[in-house]
């Protein structure tokens, strides 16, 4: 799932490539992906791309006259920039991976795609990004929050730190992958309870958040959009690395599975050497 660093890199790429170009066509192939009906997609052609912005994990393509194409890539969505399209024929609505296509006046443009059968990519055409419920609910940006803001936000919600850190209303931008990385860098258990964290632990967590996200942004920005996913993988220390050695201590990276997700962590670095109970497994055994 694209998180803050990947969306930041896509935003940066679009800003460089698409700003100043006029929208020729906006083609919607997956009707269910478009969550708004007013303004209609026909409002976009003829307008110029003036900016690309990021709101948490949302991408905002700004068109002149205050029109915003706001995109949430969800789990399996991605933005593919095309220097040219193979055909001028309009996209046919159907079951393909392309949800939406934007053609620009120089023949380039981008496709929003979504792999898999669970379709949750969401696109909003709005005159104000705050009209998108997920954007309106966002907490402060995880990369921009200073220590006081970060501490206040983390303490505003009592719960397991992994869940609170990925709650977009608490802080915007961190998802499953980078929360694993941040907690590893901060040497904190994903199940530590937020209101029991000391000031010192929160300061460490804040520093780790900035460091992990900042590093990932630096690695990602400037990469071609197509290469971003591989770049993300190469920078990860525990996430999606179950069974491999922790690069810090050499212990084996472990996993806790849930119904539709999992987390990875290093017991030596994060939980005093004690493995966490795997909830799914313990339920099966019972």
Residues that bind Zn ion (CB under 5 A): 246, 248-249, 251, 266, 268-269
Distance of CA 169 to the CA centre of its chain: 14
SS3 category, 213: helix
CB of 238 to Zn ion, least distance (A): 8
DSSP bridge partners of 126: 68
Distance of CA 221 to CAs 17, 118, 181, Å? 13, 29, 19
Cα separation, 140 vs 142, whole angstroms: 6
CB of 274 to Zn ion, least distance (A): 13
Cα separation, 286 vs 283, whole angstroms: 5
CB of 265 to Zn ion, least distance (A): 9
Closer of 131 and 248 to Zn ion (Cβ): 248
CB of 248 to Zn ion, least distance (A): 4
- What one-character DSSP code corresponds to residue 199? H
Closer of 214 and 245 to Zn ion (Cβ): 245
CB of 267 to Zn ion, least distance (A): 8
DSSP bridge partners of 257: 262
Closer of 126 and 183 to Zn ion (Cβ): 183
The contacts of residue 103 (CB under 8 Å, 6+ apart) are 23, 24, 25, 26, 27, 85, 109
- Angle separating helix axes 147-155 and 199-220, nearest 10 degrees: 110
CB-nearest residue to Zn ion:
246
Closer of 99 and 269 to Zn ion (Cβ): 269
Closer of 116 and 273 to Zn ion (Cβ): 273
DSSP bridge partners of 101: 27, 111
Cα separation, 111 vs 96, whole angstroms: 12
Closer of 52 and 186 to Zn ion (Cβ): 186
CB of 220 to Zn ion, least distance (A): 24
CB of 201 to Zn ion, least distance (A): 18
SS3 category, 52: strand
Closer of 76 and 276 to Zn ion (Cβ): 276
Length of the chain: 286
């Amino acid at each position: 799932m694209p998180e803050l660093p990947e969306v930041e890199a896509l935003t940066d790429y679009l800003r460089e490539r698409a700003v100043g170009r006029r929208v020729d066509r906006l083609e919607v192939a997956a009707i269910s992906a478009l969550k708004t009906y007013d303004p209609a997609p026909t409002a976009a052609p003829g307008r110029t791309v003036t900016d690309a912005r990021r709101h948490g994990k949302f991408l905002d393509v700004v068109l002149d006259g205050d029109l915003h194409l706001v995109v949430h890539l969800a789990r399996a969505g991605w933005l593919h920039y095309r220097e040219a399209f193979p055909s001028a024929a309009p996209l046919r609505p159907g079951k393909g991976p392309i949800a939406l296509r934007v053609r620009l006046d120089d023949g380039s443009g981008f496709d929003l795609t979504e792999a898999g059968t669970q379709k949750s990519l969401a696109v909003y055409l709005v005159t104000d990004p705050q009209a998108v419920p997920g954007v309106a609910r966002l907490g402060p940006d995880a990369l921009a929050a200073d220590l006081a803001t970060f501490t206040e936000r983390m303490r505003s919600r009592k719960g397991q730190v992994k869940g609170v850190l990925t709650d977009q209303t608490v802080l915007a931008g961190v998802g499953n992958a980078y929360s694993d990385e941040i907690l590893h860098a901060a040497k904190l258990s994903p199940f530590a309870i937020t209101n029991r964290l000391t000031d010192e632990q929160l300061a460490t967590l804040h520093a780790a958040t900035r460091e992990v996200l900042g590093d990932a942004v630096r690695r990602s920005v400037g990469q071609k959009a197509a290469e971003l996913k591989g770049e993300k993988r190469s920078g990860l220390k525990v996430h999606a690395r179950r069974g491999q050695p922790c690069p810090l201590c050499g212990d084996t990276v472990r996993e806790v599975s849930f119904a539709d997700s999992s987390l990875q962590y290093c017991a030596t670095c994060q939980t005093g050497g004690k493995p966490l109970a795997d909830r799914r497994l313990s339920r099966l055994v019972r």
